Structure 1
Amino acid sequence: MQGGFYEVKVQKRTTKSRIISAAWQLFYEQGYEDTTVDEIIRVAQTSKGSFYHYFKSKDALLNTLSYLFDEKYEQLIDTMDEEWNTYRKLLYLNNELFTMIENSVSIDLLARLLSSQLITKGEKSLLDRDRFYYKLLRKIIQEGQQKGELRTDISIGEIVKAYAICERSFMYDWCISGGEYSLRSYSQSLLPIFMKDFFTLI
């Protein structure tokens, strides 16, 4: 999907993004502890100098999962039909992201990221309102209100916040439960229930 409503800034695939993608691919395939910086550099096709320009250590990559999520959202823009209503767009984005998480993100590392967000006193990457994730959600919600699909007595920010809280809560529970159920399927069945009061018609 190009232009118009979806002209949200999409970042070019940089050296940093290649390093992050390579790292999480290796973390999933062979485990975090068994992945070395040299292997990440090789898969990312970059240099050791470039790696340490962006990251102080391998541990620093643990806080980049939200960056990987945003890359997924950037890819999904071109696969959404402009004729879809807001309800379908939100369910689609959730379905695709959670499918990616189930298929390519270690549950242990996801749990580590989520727990770090609870104890960190600095920047909380999942709550960064400058993330592509939040920019895209604001655009979708704004369009939904303009089309009369979403209530206008509730602000765009509050609806976005509620949606993001739902997604985070599903991820937290999935991690706590040890992945005993399908994150994607469970979310697809419950998200409409949690969000229905924001819609004028589902």
Structure 2
Amino acid sequence: MAAKQNVKSRIVDAAWELFYEKGYDDTTVEDIIRLSETSKGSFYYYFGSKDSLLDTLSDVLDENYAKLEEELDPEMDSFEKLMYLNYQSHLFLETKIDIQLLASLYSTQLICKGSRNLLDQNRKYYKLISKIVEEGHVRGQISRAKTIQEITKYYSLCERALVSDWCLNRANYSLAEYSKEYMPILMEHFRVR
């Protein structure tokens, strides 16, 4: 099972790397197979087409969150952990995900009738943010004026707002640096000093 997941992950990672470097339209299934060092059979076992890879953005982002979680200093202030995650995740978006593709995917999430995988509360993203907020409640570093779920929802809303604005402005500024400046302001109400 782990080997199968490894093949799928390699395909997903290769696809998103190519989407960023070459653009979605100029990336072929053959390019993805070559970079992932897999086979055509493996590709089509997991994905019906190149288009079906677009549904894996939340997986790519959650894989990045898993890596970031490992980097976190357990002694770091919980509010600062949230700000660190915000900065690093937005740096990842800025440097690894094609802006046109990101904007397109955000817009399809707005109009799709099925599940909106970016909002799936079972994602690593939501679990990690909730865990840090809960830790902040216990440590007295994040206000208890709102529940863990409410603060997590607000945090994710602020992140999406910053990303949406960056997409609307066609990436004419650094998302990571803009977020570093404004996310603490947006979240200040929840910080305990």
Q: For residue 143 of structure 2, what is the amino acid of its counterpart?
A: R
**Matched residues in 1 for 2:25 and 2:164: separation?**
22
Match of 1:112 among 86, 90, 104: 104
Q: 1:144-199 CA distances to partner (integer Å, 9 max, x unpaired)?
A: 00011112231100000000001111111111111111111111111111111112
Structure 1 counterpart of 2:53: 61
Please report the RMSD computed on the Cα atoms of aligned residues, expressed in angstroms. 1.3
* 1:17-65 deviation per Cα after TM superposition (whole angstroms, max 9, x unaligned): 2111100101111111111111111211222222122211101112211
CA contact (8 A) 2:78 2:132 kept: yes
Partners of 2:69 and 2:124 lie apart in 1 by 11
Give the match for residue 116 of structure 2: 124
Off by >6 Å, runs of 4+ in structure 1:
none
Q: Aligned ranges for residues 147-166 of structure 1 at < 5 Å?
A: 147-166=139-158
AA matched with 1:145? H
Shift of 1:111: 0.4
Residues 163-172 or 53-62, more deviating? 53-62
Quote the residue 1:6 is aligned against: none
1:151-190 aligned within 5 A: 151-190=143-182
2:185 equivalent in structure 1: 193
Mark the runs of 5 or more structure 1 residues left unpaired by the alignment.
1-11
2:68 is equivalent to residue 76 of structure 1: yes
Identical residues among aligned pairs (%)? 49
Identify the residue that residue 41 of structure 2 maps to in structure 1: 49
Does the CA-based 8 Å contact 2:79-2:142 persist in structure 1? Answer: no
Distance 1:14 1:198 in 2: 39
Q: How many residues align?
A: 190
Kindly indicate which of the two structures has a greater share of residues assigned to helix.
2
- TM-score (normalised: structure 2): 0.94
Please give the per-residue CA displacement for 1:82-129, whole angstroms capped at 9, x wherever unaligned: 110012111111111111111121100000110010010101011011
